[in-house]
Amino acid sequence: MRGTRSLWPYLLIAPTVAGGAFLLLYPMLKAAVISFQHFRMGELIRGGAAFAGLDNYAELLAGAEFWQVLWRTLGWTAVNVVLIVVLSTGVALMLARLRRGLRLALMSALALAWATPIIAATTVFQWLFQSELGVVNWLLAALGFDSFRGYTWFADGTATFAVLVVLVVWQSVPFAALTLYAGLTTIPVELYESARIDGGTGRQVFWKVTLPMLRQLFALVASLEVIWVAKCFPQIWVLSQGGPDGATTTLPVYAFKIARVLHRYDLGSAVAMLTVVILAVALVSNLRRMVRQ
């Protein structure tokens, strides 16, 4: 009887765990298999893909384009994650200092921004940065920046990259800020009071009290944002499709373009698997450190 009771919780969650594992693991395993095959349009239609070994990976690693996309992805991830963590920390600290009514209003606004569908938010940003009728150009021109009158944001690689950074940061800050604010509420008030009695400034209190207490939470938020930013696809594809001239092509976009345009499903799968390996290597050490602490 006691053994049955101990197994009952696991039996209840078993269908959910099995379904989740299937939905997560099967696509990854299928992509891994395809990456070692000669799999193109013909194999997609008639089946019977031949084993290609490491040829797809060798072709990728020998090409200059893959390395350009890789470095661009690393830069894209670093810029976004740093901005997200810094801005989210500021918003979380502000939430902790606001009165109840203002705090509730700001948290509601953050939740609404976070809940906005990705495609809808991306479309709104397209309208905002439209060259002739966009609000951003109108506002900048009204402030005296006449060079932005009729400026075409999506014709320049750097400008398109900047717009995408603003979009992704805007979408990511709510989750990170609310998570960090929840962590701030767990810090005992007595620690802050002791620090202030000892003459600590706001900056010193943050570095000596807040950051050490929430070090694991900051590491977790940063890890989640690295995954979220590195795998961003719909925002980039809807806004620029990786252009202009490949200036916003990251690894997920690169994999999709190879598979869709060239019908090189084997090469696209190889890019996807390399992306997974790079993310795993980047995050394993951080997560291992969190578990040890």
Mean of pLDDT values over 145-154: 86
Do the domain assignments include residue 33? no
Distance CA 78, CA 230 (A): 9
Residue 289 banded pLDDT, cuts 50, 70, 90? low
Residue 121 has pLDDT above 80, yes or no: yes
Residue 3 banded pLDDT, cuts 50, 70, 90? low
Q: What is the CATH number of the domain that holds 124?
A: 1.10.3720.10
Domain count across the chain: 1
Q: Which of the two residues, 143 and 286, has the higher pLDDT score?
A: 143
The Cβ of residue 176 has, within 10 Å, a number of other Cβ atoms equal to 26
Do the domain assignments include residue 134? yes
Distance CA 34, CA 269 (A): 6
Domain extent, residue 96, equals: 51-292
CA distances from 125 to 82, 103, 146, 164, 165 (A): 21, 26, 21, 9, 11
**pLDDT tens digits along 171-228:** 999 999 999 999 888 888 888 778 787 777 778 888 888 888 888 888 889 988 998 9
Do the domain assignments include residue 65? yes
Do the domain assignments include residue 174? yes
Residue 245 has pLDDT above 90, yes or no: no
Residue 92 has pLDDT above 80, yes or no: yes
Do the domain assignments include residue 4? no
Residue 52 banded pLDDT, cuts 50, 70, 90? confident
**pLDDT tens digits along 71-85:** 999 999 999 999 999
Distance CA 198, CA 176 (A): 31
Residue 2 has pLDDT above 60, yes or no: no
- Least confident segment among 103-107, 187-191, 233-237: 187-191
Do the domain assignments include residue 20? no
Distance CA 61, CA 66 (A): 7
Do the domain assignments include residue 125? yes
Do the domain assignments include residue 100? yes
pTM for this model (two decimals): 0.87
Name the residue with tokens 């269908």.
15
Question: Max Cα separation, the chain?
Answer: 79
Mean of pLDDT values over 232-246: 88
